[in-house]
Structures are given as structure tokens and as C-alpha cells.
């Protein structure tokens, strides 16, 4: 199996090298057969990588501990679900996943464009195979997932408890899909620049992939935020962690591109800017992968000591230098066809919105890398956290929200007073009414940024509903459809437009959730004995009793916590902490089951439309320490005695002799667990009350739905209508 | 207005905004940032009552609980120097011996006391080998 996997990697590397060479030779020599062969090499690579990934998955499912990566990240007791996710929990497996996804997406785009973009696609093929080759080379020579050992251990170390979370199945593959999809516009952009075919066609063919990358990366980010929200010590749903930021930056870039490309399509403007955004997004996607693997920055996320930093820096240098070089080389052909007519126009709003998004990217990039910058300048590493981000990102996000509301409602080219009055009266009124209501009915005035977010959220939402109402109303005037039918038909025929509006609505909802939950959060850390209570933000938290249970994989200690508001019972929560057997022999035969540093916390969460109540319990096992020490002494002596007595017997007979001791040990552990449940030792609780946090997830879901709507193919007739302007434009360019 | 003049004005405004942003960014990041000390740097520079950010790796075998207090040592990744820390507050799940941590500490006459809930731990490295196997 290991040999098969290694052979597949090397074969894949050969195929990637051949495909890149064939594509370049084919396009330079005008040999279509070589170009086709290069494209088929991408399909072949995808097949090989899927096969390699299946081999690795089978090794995990079969508990084949001769694979180093299986022994390190899985075990016989790891549930099957997590065995399936374990490959991408390791450096080696995640590199293989990267190549597999990259080759699959590359195959898809090259298959869809096989009869078009004949001058651009071969260069794009070479670039895409170059990326795959780079990651394959790392997987084959620096972090091989198919490395095996001659004497495998009887069992593996298991997947880290913290990674045993359902999100592990979806969060990393979503992020990797997003990152790898970013490479597609990058590759076609490079192809367009080299070939000089800088018209609209390649943009139309790859825009869907940019949008898919945006959707996957966004979904990955939000799944990560949700996961982080339910883990203790990961900084809540957003901690401005280096790895979180690394995913956000390309997402923001591609968001800017999705908007500004409309101006290029409609008016032939911003060509240099759009090309730069594509290049920046592609480069930042690789930069994000580099940050995860190099360990150059402190992060709560997974960083290991790694030797992969240098090759990544080299790749980034090549990407940046070639992007700048190609854009400068083709600057004449990238000249805008029109000027901006007015600052009061949709084009201008898109430009402002783009500038704000790029400014946010720059702020995040600078502050994320600031520890390295300061170390280079002053010799001392400096820690910067959320306080450095918020003074910049919050006002910029509010400006972005304002532009999100204005953009869809303002006219192309030049807005008139009549247009402004007609389109903005209702949304502005909605925003102002919200502002007055929030200030008058609540004490939110002490947080001006949050209040502004609420008012702007109402402004954006009102604008979206107004557009939908007017569009459906116009349709009804001619078809006399019922309102729901008119709305459905309108959206169905204008998916990209209304998908975009849905995304705007989701963004407004999400930012309101973020503003409320971060500005008006209450938290407290308390020690309670059973029967004692703590008070926070009008809620009473009463520690009712301890809970404790033992299962083959872990011990779980927790608390029953009653939450009351006045005399009304709100909810009963059960935060717990699971203790997994440690692999550290010095913990002792009993102590290894109670290792506080090999545990994970399950949050007691009550989510609601108005507020979330979030609790964790940190059980105090200290009173059991004496019993654990005694147990360690007794069982260590017994185990040593049996091992001495059976030292001349076979391993199997020695194991059989030890079996009764393991039964007694398990009973002793169960006894200690019962002891904990019987006694009412004090427990440390952390409790948080966060308003409107649910709306963050609702907003994210709306954004995802809007993205899917925009991505979904149009019906045939609508597509023909939609494509008519592109075809006309293409014809003009060809003439 | 002459289009080229209009372009020049717009460019000047954009560049001024970019310059302002960059300047304030540099200013804020230097002011909001706090020096991160390794164990050896801290031992050399710490003053009683001083507050510092201590970064390093949790020393193997140093983690122990006494009552509600957590005691551990943070070692300098490059030198054989470690600083003992006394900490109270919620301990992040990923905290364990051998993992990289950041904690805000106050020098209380030679004892480094961790600020409650300031302990940040890197995730158990997805990309690091585990230290051994189950017995």
C-alpha cells in the first residue's frame, strides 16, 4: 500500500511535469495535439491523486500503523468518522488533499473551456500543473503521507481530542477548496497576460470559479468560526488569529474582484485593477497555506515546526514577481476604455468599495505580520491582538456596509437628483428610524459603532427589499402573477443580480450580529459549590450538581447548571470536560486517565434569537489527587510484579496475565469517577451572555444561499439574453 | 474640468488617504503592540511589579495543579532557561506540556503570576508527531 501511494505521487509528479511541458510546447509551436495532451495530463493527474487519496483513506480505515501518518493521527479506538478526517489533520495528508482538490478543480475548468480560450488555456494549464507539481514535490520529498516503517506500533496515538469535532469533516476541505479555486483565475489571468488575449471571454469563463472559490472559502471561514465559538481557548468566533486572517484576506480580495469585474464587463474599465486583484487573491491563497505550514507567526491554530517555509517563500516570490512583471508588460493593452463619468455613480461606488476592501486587506496583512516586522526592525517580537485591528477594521467595515447599501441602488454612469430621491428615500428612512429607535429604546448609545452598524444594517436590508419589491412589481404589471410567483420568477431569471443582493442582505445581518455580540457581551468567571449561584446580565446561574461518567474512550466530568431569569426557569445547561487517556507514561496507570492537559471542553450553550448563554465548567479534580497517587503506586507495583513473573513468557501470555489488572484498574477509575459525582467540590465556571450572536450564523447562511444563487446556472433563454452583451463585446474586440 | 486634472486630483486624494491610513496603522501597531519576551529575556529584564507577555514552550513535567492554581514553567525555545508561572483562571483546552503558549505575567518579586484568562495556547499541532503511542 505504501509503495503504491509513493508510486502514485511520483507518477503524478511526472504527469504534471509532462503536462506543463506539453501545454507550453503546444501553444508555442501551434500544435493543438500537444495542447490537448497537456490538458488530458490534468485529468490523468486528478485520477492519480484521487487514487492516492483513496489509498491513504484505506490505510486509516484498516488501522495500518505501518504508515507513519496513520500511527501519529489515528488509533484503533478513533471513531470511523474521524479516521476519515484524520488524513488532513496531518501536514502530509493535507498536502495530498491540496493537490487532489487542485487537480480536480483544474480538470473541471479545463474541461469546460476545452473548446474555448485556445490561446489562454495552455498557459493556464501549465500554471495549474505548476502549482500541483509544487505541492506534489513537497508531498513526495518533504512530507510524504505514504512513509512507512518496518516495525509498526500495535496502536496509534489517536487523533487529537480537539480535532474530534464534526467540523473537521467540512472546515478544512472547504478552506482548501477555496484556496485551490483561487488558483484558477490566477492561472487564467497569467495565461491572458502572456497570450495578450485580454478580452472579456476568459473572465466570463473563470468568473464562476472565482465565485465558487469565494463561496467555499467563505463557508470554510464561517465553519471555522462556529467551531472556534464552541471551543474553549480558541478566541471565540473570531480572534484575529493569523490563520483566520490568512483565509480572510484572499476572500476579501475576491469579493472586491467579483464587484469590480462588473465594471470591466460593462464599461471596459479597471482592467489593471482587476488583474491585480486576481493576482493578489491567488498569491494570498498560497500565503495562507504558507502561514499554516511555516510556523512563522504565533497562532492558536495548528503550527508545527516545519521545513516547508523556504519552498513556500520561493513560490510566493515567483508569483509576486511574475504577476507584477506581466501586468507592467501588458499595461498598454490593459488601458481603460472609458473614464469614470461621475463620483455619484455605481462605478464610483464599486471603486470606493474596492478601495475599502483592499484597505482592510492591507490593515489585516500589516497587523498580522507586524510581530515579524517589529522583530526585523527592533529585534523584539511584539504581540498585537484585537485592540490593534478594531480601530481600523470597524470603521472600514461600516463604510463598506454603507457602500453595500448604496451600490445596488445608484445609477450607472451618473446619478441624478431624481434617481437619488427615488431610490434612497425608503432605505435612508429605514436607517434613520432604526437609529432613533435604538438610541431611544435601549442604552446602546454608549457604543456608537454598534449603533451605526444597526442603522446601516436596516439601510442595506431596506434597499434590498425595495429592489426586490420593485422588480417583482414590474413583473406583476405585465404578467399579473401572484407576488410569490413574481418574486420567484424574477430571482430565477436574474440569479446573479439577486444572488448578489441576497449576499448583501446576509452581510448586513451578519455584521449586526457581530456588532451586538461583541459590543454588549457580558462575561464572568466564578467558583461555585453545588447549590450556589452567580448573577450576570439579569440571569442567575445555579450550580445544581456535578456529573461524571466513564466510557471506553474518555472520562467526562461536568455540571448541571440551572439558568433563571427572575423566577422564570430559562434553561438547564450541562457543560462538561472530557479527559482522554494520555500517552504519557509518567502520568501513571491511573493518572493517565485524569490528565488535565489531555482534555477537551464541551460548552453548555443555549442559543436564541435574542441572546446566547455560553458556559464552560472546569472541574476541580484536585481532591482526587491523593487517591490517584495511591492508585498509581498500587497498580505500578502490581504491573511490575506480573511483568517480572512473566518475563520469560510470550507477549500474548504476558498480556493475558495482565488482563485481570486492567479490569481492576478500570474499576478503580470508575470508582474515582463515582467519587467525583458524589462529592460537591467547587467548580470553576466561565459564563457569557452575548446578544444577537445567532444572527451572525443566520447572516452567514443567507450569504451562502446568495452565493449559491449567483453561482447556479441560468435557464437557457435567460442565459442567451445574459450573454448577448458579452457576445457583442467580444465581437467588437475581435473586429 | 479638464479630465487629466480631474484624474490628478482623484489620484492625490486617494494617495493622501492611503498615506494617512498607512501612517496611523504604523503608529497604532507600534503603540498597541506589547513586547513579547522569552524566558531568558524576561529573567534579564523583569522588574518587580512589571507586566510582560511571556512566550515559549511549556516545560515537560512542569505542569501541576495546587488547589485552584496551575503551576507550570515556560522555557525559552532556543536556550535551556525556564521561568516558573503561577496561573489562575480558565485554561485553554490545547494547553499541555511541550506546547507553545503566550501568557501575560506580572513579576511579583521573582514569582511570575499569570493574569487570569490571558493564557493563549497554540492548537495541538495538526502537523506535529505525537510523542508516543498508547500502552
**Complex confidence, ipTM:** 0.77
B132 domain-assigned = no
Closest CA to A428 of A460, A471, A473: A460
pLDDT at B132 over 50: no
Which pLDDT does position A29 carry in this prediction?
A: 92
For A153, which residue in chain B has the nearest alpha carbon? Answer: B133
Q: What whole-number distance in Å separates Cα of residue B114 and Cα of residue B122?
A: 17
End-to-end CA distance of chain A: 57
Which pLDDT does position B125 carry in this prediction?
A: 41
Residues B87 and B48 placed together within one structural domain of the fold: yes
Q: Could you tell me which residues are beta bridge partners of residue A382?
A: B35
Give the number of other CB atoms < 10 A from CB of residue A367. Answer: 25
Residue that wins the pLDDT comparison between B90 and A277:
A277
Closest CA to A591 of A557, A548, A634, A547: A634
Residue among B66, B92, B117 minimizing CB distance to A525: B117
Which positions in chain A touch B116 (Cβ < 8 Å)? Answer: 525
| All domains of chain A in start order, with CATH | 1-164 (1.20.120), 416-518+695-735 (no CATH), 530-681 (no CATH)
Contact A501, A706 (CB under 8 A): yes
B127 domain-assigned = no
8 Å CB contact of B133 and A300: no
Q: Read off the pLDDT of residues A124-173 as tens digits, 9 standing for 90 and up.
A: 999 999 999 999 999 999 889 999 998 888 888 888 877 888 888 999 99
B23 domain-assigned = yes
Per mean pLDDT, which range of A9-23, A469-483, A693-707, B84-98 is the poorest? B84-98
Residues B42 and B61 placed together within one structural domain of the fold: yes
How many alpha carbons lie under 13 Å from residue A177 in its C-beta half-sphere? 20
Q: Could you tell me which residues are beta bridge partners of residue A534?
A: A541
B117 domain-assigned = yes
Q: What whole-number distance in Å separates Cα of residue B61 and Cα of residue B56?
A: 15
8 Å CB contact of A233 and B120: yes
For A370, which residue in chain B has the nearest alpha carbon? Answer: B29
8 Å CB contact of B28 and A91: no
Residue among A155, A388, A596 minimizing CB distance to B29: A388
Cα B49 to the center of its chain, rounded Å: 19
B9 domain-assigned = yes
Residues B56 and B80 placed together within one structural domain of the fold: yes
What CATH number is attached to the domain comprising B101?
2.40.50.140
Contact A84, A162 (CB under 8 A): no
Residue that has been written with the C-alpha cell 515556560 in this structure = B74
Pure H helices in A230-344: 242-267, 271-294, 309-329
Which pLDDT does position B121 carry in this prediction?
A: 76
At residue A719 the predicted structure's pLDDT band, cuts being 50, 70 and 90, is low
Residues B15 and B77 placed together within one structural domain of the fold: no
Overall average pLDDT of the A619-646 stretch: 89
Residues B80 and B49 placed together within one structural domain of the fold: yes
Strands B100-108 and B51-58, bridge-based pairing: antiparallel
Residue that has been written with the C-alpha cell 474512550 in this structure = A553
Which positions in chain B touch A68 (Cβ < 8 Å)? Answer: 129
Residues B45 and B24 placed together within one structural domain of the fold: no
pLDDT at A13 over 60: yes
Residues B42 and B68 placed together within one structural domain of the fold: yes
- Which H or E run includes A542? strand A539-550
3-state secondary structure of A735: coil
Q: What whole-number distance in Å separates Cα of residue A584 and Cα of residue A373?
A: 38
Residues B64 and B40 placed together within one structural domain of the fold: yes
Q: Read off the pLDDT of residues A220-237 as tens digits, 9 standing for 90 and up.
A: 999 999 998 988 767 688
Q: What is the mean pLDDT of chain A?
A: 89
How many alpha carbons lie under 13 Å from residue A489 in its C-beta half-sphere? 15
At residue B126 the predicted structure's pLDDT band, cuts being 50, 70 and 90, is very low
B50 domain-assigned = yes
- Which H or E run includes A77? none
Q: Read off the pLDDT of residues B43-76 as tens digits, 9 standing for 90 and up.
A: 888 888 888 888 888 898 888 877 778 899 999 8
Residues B54 and B23 placed together within one structural domain of the fold: no
Residues B113 and B50 placed together within one structural domain of the fold: yes
8 Å CB contact of B131 and A584: yes
Mutate to test the interface with A, among B5, B33, B40 (most CBs of A within 10 A): B33
Q: What whole-number distance in Å separates Cα of residue B36 and Cα of residue A371?
A: 9
Residue among B36, B94, B117 minimizing CB distance to A162: B94
- Judge if pTM exceeds 0.80: yes
Overall average pLDDT of the A37-43 stretch: 96
| Percentage above 90 pLDDT, chain A | 58
Q: What is the DSSP string of B63-115?
A: -EEETTEEEEEEE-SSSS-EEEEEE-SPPPTT--TTSEEEEEEEEETTEEEEP
Q: What are residue A113's phi and psi, to 5 degrees?
A: -105, 15
Which pLDDT does position A162 carry in this prediction?
A: 79
8 Å CB contact of B34 and A382: yes
Closest-CA distance, A693 to chain B, in angstroms, reads 22
Contact A12, A34 (CB under 8 A): no
Which positions in chain A touch B131 (Cβ < 8 Å)? Answer: 157, 583-584
Residues, chain A, total? 735
pLDDT at B128 over 60: no
Grid coordinates in use for A474? Answer: 414590474
pLDDT at A403 over 70: yes
Per mean pLDDT, which range of A5-14, A413-422, A436-445, A724-733 is the poorest? A724-733
Closest-CA distance, A686 to chain B, in angstroms, reads 7
Which pLDDT does position A199 carry in this prediction?
A: 83
Which pLDDT does position A302 carry in this prediction?
A: 44
pLDDT at A698 over 90: yes
pLDDT at A303 over 50: no
Residues B1 and B49 placed together within one structural domain of the fold: no
Q: How many CB pairs under 8 A join A and B?
A: 185
For A160, which residue in chain B has the nearest alpha carbon? Answer: B124
Contact A558, B108 (CB under 8 A): no
B85 domain-assigned = yes
8 Å CB contact of A72 and B94: no
Closest-CA distance, A714 to chain B, in angstroms, reads 38
Q: Report the number of distinct structural domains present in chain B.
A: 2
Which positions in chain A touch B89 (Cβ < 8 Å)? Answer: 525
3-state secondary structure of A688: strand
For A598, which residue in chain B has the nearest alpha carbon? Answer: B96
Closest-CA distance, A242 to chain B, in angstroms, reads 11
Residues B42 and B96 placed together within one structural domain of the fold: yes
DSSP symbol at A154: S
Overall average pLDDT of the A243-268 stretch: 91
Which positions in chain B touch A388 (Cβ < 8 Å)? Answer: 28-29, 32-33
B60: containing domain: 36-121
B133 domain-assigned = no
Which pLDDT does position B134 carry in this prediction?
A: 27
Closest-CA distance, B12 to chain A, in angstroms, reads 14
8 Å CB contact of B29 and A527: no
Overall average pLDDT of the A427-443 stretch: 93
Amino acid at each position: 500500500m505504501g509503495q503504491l501511494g509513493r508510486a502514485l505521487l511520483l507518477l503524478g509528479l511526472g504527469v504534471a511535469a509532462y503536462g506543463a511541458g506539453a501545454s507550453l510546447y503546444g501553444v508555442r509551436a501551434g500544435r493543438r495535439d500537444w495542447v490537448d495532451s497537456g490538458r488530458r495530463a490534468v485529468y490523468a493527474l486528478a485520477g492519480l491523486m484521487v487514487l492516492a487519496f483513496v489509498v491513504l483513506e484505506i490505510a486509516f480505515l484498516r488501522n495500518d500503523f505501518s504508515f507513519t501518518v496513520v500511527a501519529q493521527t489515528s488509533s484503533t479506538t478513533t471513531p470511523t468518522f474521524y479516521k476519515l478526517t484524520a488524513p488532513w489533520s496531518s501536514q502530509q495528508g493535507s498536502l495530498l488533499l491540496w493537490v487532489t482538490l487542485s487537480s480536480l478543480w483544474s480538470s473541471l475548468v479545463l474541461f469546460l473551456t476545452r473548446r474555448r480560450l485556445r490561446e489562454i488555456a495552455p498557459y493556464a494549464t501549465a500554471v495549474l500543473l505548476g502549482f500541483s507539481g509544487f505541492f506534489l514535490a513537497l508531498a513526495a520529498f518533504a512530507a510524504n503521507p505514504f512513509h512507512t516503517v518496518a516495525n509498526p506500533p500495535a496502536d496509534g496515538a489517536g487523533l487529537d481530542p480537539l480535532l474530534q469535532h464534526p467540523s473537521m469533516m467540512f472546515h478544512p476541505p472547504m478552506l482548501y477548496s477555496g484556496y485551490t479555486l483561487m488558483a484558477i483565475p490566477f492561472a487564467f489571468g497569467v495565461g491572458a497576460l502572456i497570450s495578450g488575449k485580454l478580452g472579456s471571454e476568459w473572465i466570463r469563463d473563470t468568473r464562476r470559479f472565482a465565485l465558487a472559490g469565494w463561496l467555499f472559502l467563505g463557508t470554510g471561514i464561517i465553519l471555522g468560526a462556529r467551531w472556534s465559538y464552541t471551543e474553549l481557548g480558541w478566541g471565540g468566533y473570531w480572534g484575529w488569529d493569523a490563520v483566520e486572517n490568512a483565509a480572510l484576506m484572499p476572500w476579501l480580495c475576491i469579493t472586491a474582484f467579483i464587484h469590480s469585474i462588473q465594471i470591466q464587463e460593462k464599461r471596459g474599465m479597471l482592467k489593471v485593477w482587476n488583474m491585480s486583484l486576481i493576482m493578489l487573491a491567488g498569491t494570498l491563497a498560497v500565503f495562507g497555506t504558507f502561514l499554516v505550514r511555516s510556523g512563522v507567526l504565533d497562532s492558536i491554530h495548528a503550527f508545527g515546526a516545519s521545513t516547508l517555509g523556504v519552498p513556500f517563500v520561493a513560490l510566493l516570490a515567483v508569483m509576486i514577481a511574475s504577476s507584477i512583471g506581466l501586468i507592467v508588460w501588458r499595461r498598454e493593452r490593459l488601458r481603460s476604455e472609458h473614464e469614470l463619468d461621475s463620483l455619484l455613480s455605481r462605478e464610483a461606488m464599486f471603486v470606493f468599495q474596492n478601495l475599502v476592501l483592499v484597505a482592510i486587506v492591507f490593515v489585516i496583512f500589516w497587523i498580522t505580520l507586524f510581530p515579524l516586522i517589529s522583530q526585523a526592525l527592533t529585534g523584539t517580537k511584539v504581540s498585537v491582538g484585537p485592540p490593534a485591528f478594531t480601530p481600523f477594521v470597524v470603521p472600514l467595515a461600516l463604510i463598506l456596509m454603507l457602500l453595500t447599501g448604496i451600490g445596488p441602488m445608484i445609477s450607472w454612469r451618473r446619478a441624478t437628483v431624481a434617481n437619488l430621491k427615488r431610490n434612497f428615500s425608503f432605505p435612508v428612512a429605514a436607517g434613520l428610524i432604526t437609529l432613533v429607535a435604538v438610541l431611544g429604546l435601549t442604552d446602546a448609545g454608549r457604543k456608537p459603532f454598534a449603533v451605526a452598524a444597526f442603522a446601516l444594517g436596516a439601510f442595506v436590508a431596506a434597499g434590498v427589499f425595495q429592489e426586490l419589491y420593485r422588480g417583482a412589481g414590474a413583473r406583476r404589471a405585465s404578467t399579473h402573477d401572484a407576488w410569490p410567483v413574481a418574486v420567484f420568477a424574477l430571482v430565477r431569471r436574474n440569479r446573479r443580480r439577486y444572488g448578489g443582493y441576497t449576499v448583501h442582505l446576509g452581510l448586513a445581518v451578519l455584521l449586526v450580529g457581530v456588532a451586538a455580540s461583541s459590543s454588549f457581551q457580558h462575561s464572568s468567571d466564578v467558583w461555585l459549590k453545588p447549590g450556589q449561584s452567580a448573577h450576570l446580565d439579569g440571569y442567575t446561574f445555579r450550580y445544581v450538581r456535578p456529573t461524571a461518567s466513564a466510557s471506553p474512550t474518555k472520562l467526562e466530568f461536568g455540571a448541571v447548571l440551572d439558568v433563571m431569569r427572575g423566577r422564570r426557569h430559562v434553561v438547564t445547561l450541562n457543560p462538561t470536560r472530557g479527559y482522554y487517556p494520555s500517552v504519557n507514561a509518567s502520568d501513571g496507570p491511573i493518572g493517565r486517565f485524569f490528565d488535565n492537559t489531555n482534555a477537551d471542553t464541551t460548552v453548555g450553550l443555549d442559543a436564541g434569537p435574542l441572546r446566547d448563554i455560553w458556559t464552560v465548567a472546569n472541574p476541580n479534580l484536585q481532591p482526587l489527587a491523593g487517591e490517584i497517587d495511591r492508585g498509581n503506586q498500587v497498580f505500578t507495583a502490581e504491573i511490575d510484579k506480573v511483568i517480572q513473573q512473566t518475563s520469560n513468557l510470550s507477549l500474548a501470555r504476558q498480556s493475558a496475565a495482565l488482563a485481570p489488572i486492567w479490569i481492576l484498574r478500570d474499576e478503580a477509575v470508575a470508582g474515582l469517577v463515582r467519587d467525583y459525582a458524589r462529592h460537591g467540590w467547587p467548580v470553576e465556571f466561565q459564563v457569557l451572555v452575548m446578544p444577537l450572536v445567532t444572527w451572525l450564523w443566520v447572516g452567514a447562511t443567507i450569504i451562502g444561499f446568495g452565493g449559491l444563487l449567483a453561482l447556479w446556472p441560468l435557464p437557457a433563454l435567460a442565459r442567451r439574453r445574459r450573454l448577448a452583451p458579452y457576445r457583442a463585446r467580444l465581437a467588437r474586440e475581435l473586429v | 474640468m479638464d479630465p487629466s486634472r480631474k484624474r490628478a486630483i482623484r489620484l492625490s486624494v486617494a494617495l493622501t488617504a492611503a498615506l494617512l491610513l498607512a501612517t496611523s496603522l504604523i503608529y497604532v501597531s507600534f503603540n498597541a503592540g506589547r513586547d513579547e519576551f522569552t524566558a531568558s529575556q524576561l529573567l534579564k529584564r523583569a522588574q518587580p511589579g512589571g507586566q510582560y507577555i511571556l512566550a515559549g514552550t511549556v516545560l515537560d513535567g512542569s505542569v501541576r495543579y495546587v488547589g485552584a492554581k496551575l503551576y507550570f514553567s515556560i522555557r525559552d525555545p532556543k536556550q535551556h532557561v525556564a521561568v516558573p508561572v503561577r496561573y489562575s483562571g480558565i485554561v485553554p483546552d490545547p494547553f499541555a506540556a511541550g506546547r507553545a503558549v503566550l501568557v501575560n505575567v506580572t513579576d511579583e518579586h521573582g514569582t511570575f503570576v499569570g493574569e487570569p484568562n490571558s493564557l493563549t495556547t497554540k492548537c495541538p499541532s495538526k502537523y506535529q508527531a505525537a510523542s508516543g503511542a498508547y500502552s
